[in-house]
Amino acid sequence: MLRITFAVLLLFAASCSCEECNYPPSLWCSDPGISRACQVEQQCQDWKTRSHDPAPPVNVTVYIESLCPDCRNFIKKMLYPTWKTLENTGIMNLQLVPYGNAEETAVGDKWNFTCQHGAMECWGNLLETCTLHFEKFPTAFDIIHCAEVATFPIDAYSKCVTKFGADFDQINECAKGDLGNQLEHEMALQTAALVPPHKYVPWVTVNGDHTEDMEKKAEADLLSLVCSTYQGTQPKECQPTKIFL
């Protein structure tokens, strides 16, 4: 017999008002016929998916830089929509690494960064890195996405931070200070440790792996790539949508 938590049973009970349901709540998800009679088929399916799916989430890591046109396009059209679609399913873990094609040199006990698109990109990388340090997902990604889709990402950053309820002064001080410098150095180390080494950005790894074929799939249809990689029961968000003309 399936064991269901008391809180879930109360939720099911509130949804069931039909006279044909003459079964105790402990049996509602034990048989498809009972679930149908008690009008809780969808709730039972959702509960089974959450409770009995041992498969680990798919780990997606995206190496970016703040003013890279291709990165901004990927975030806007592919990465953020995929994350928002799968955000509540538990099948995808996402990590962002804002460093990209930058280079670093040691200056005493600090690091000096040189970026592909100039000093403002280095500043943008620092802001994003500090955002990821202080804010958890999804807030951190909401902020970064907000800035990256703006016409001028750096100019928009403070407004995006405030929009999602974060502390811009805290993030700004981090980016200007020793903490941000050290955090960006850690991003540099993570980027340098890639095998194979990255050749461009955005650079996508899935469960730590990267191939050219995987990159093409990620850029064309990241949702399908994550769903096909996931080894557990597919959530409804992974099912293709039928369009009736």
CATH number at 193 reads 3.40.30.10
- Please give the average per-residue pLDDT across 154-173, as a whole number: 98
Cα–Cα distance measured from residue 242 to residue 244, given in angstroms and rounded to the nearest whole number: 6
Give residue 19's pLDDT band: very low, low, confident or very high (50, 70, 90).
low
Q: Is 237 domain-assigned?
A: no
pLDDT at position 3: 43
Amino acid found at 144: I
Q: How far apart are CA 198 and CA 205, in angstroms?
A: 10
Task: Say how far apart CA 171 and CA 132 lie, in whole Å.
Answer: 9
210 inside domain: yes
In angstroms, the first-to-last Cα distance of the chain is: 44
- Do 62 and 25 reside in the same domain of the chain? no
Question: 242: pLDDT confidence band, cut at 50, 70 and 90?
Answer: very low
Asked whether residue 32 falls in the same domain as residue 148, the answer is: no
Query: CA-CA distance, 112 to 145, in Å (whole number)?
Result: 26
**Same domain for 86 and 187?**
yes
**Nearest Cα to Cα of residue 215 among 109, 61, 92, 68:** 61
- Which carries the bigger pLDDT value, residue 33 or residue 199? 199
241 is a domain residue:
no
The pLDDT assigned to 51 comes to 57
pLDDT digits (tens, 9 = 90+) for 23-40: 777 677 877 778 888 888
The answer to whether residues 189 and 78 belong to one domain is yes
- Domain for residue 239, yes or no? no
pLDDT at residue number 211: 97
Mean local confidence (pLDDT), 43-59: 75
CA 146 – CA 109 distance, rounded (Å) = 33
pLDDT digits (tens, 9 = 90+) for 61-83: 999 999 999 999 999 999 999 99
195 and 135 fall within a common domain: yes
116/43: higher pLDDT: 116
Do 123 and 151 lie in one domain? The reply is yes
Average pLDDT over residues 34-47: 80
**What pLDDT does 37 receive?**
83
Q: Is 146 within the bounds of a domain?
A: yes
pLDDT reading at 154 higher than 90: yes
Residue range of the domain that includes 180: 58-229
Residue 46: predicted pLDDT: 73
Question: Are both 93 and 29 inside the same structural domain?
Answer: no
Query: Residue 208 — very low, low, confident or very high, per pLDDT cuts 50/70/90?
Result: very high
| pLDDT classification of 2: cutoffs 50, 70, 90 | very low
Q: Which of 215, 213, 237, 242 is nearest to 91 (CA)?
A: 237
Q: Examine the domain organization and report whether 31 and 65 are in the same domain.
A: no
- SS3 track for the chain: CCCCCHHHHHHHHHHCCCCCCCCCHHHCCCCHHHHHHCCCHHHHHHHHHHHCCCCCCEEEEEEECCCCHHHHHHHHHHHHHHHHHHCCCCCEEEEEEECCCCEEEEECCEEEEECCCCHHHHHHHHHHHHHHHHCCCCHHHHHHHHHHCCCCHHHHHHHHHHHCCCCHHHHHHHHHCHHHHHHHHHHHHHHHCCCCCCCCCCEEEECCECCHHHHHHHHHHHHHHHHHHCCCCCCHHHCCCCCCC
Asked if the structure places residue 245 within a domain, the reply is no
- Let me know whether 175 and 133 are in one domain: yes
Same domain? 150 vs 83: yes
Residue 173 covered by a domain: yes
**Same domain? 106 vs 66:** yes
Q: Minimum mean pLDDT among 6-15, 41-50, 102-111: which range?
A: 6-15
Question: Both 27 and 73 in a single domain?
Answer: no
Judged against a pLDDT cut of 50, whether residue 5 lies above it is answered with: no
In a domain, 234, yes or no: no
Q: How many domains does the chain have?
A: 2
Whole-prediction pTM? 0.78
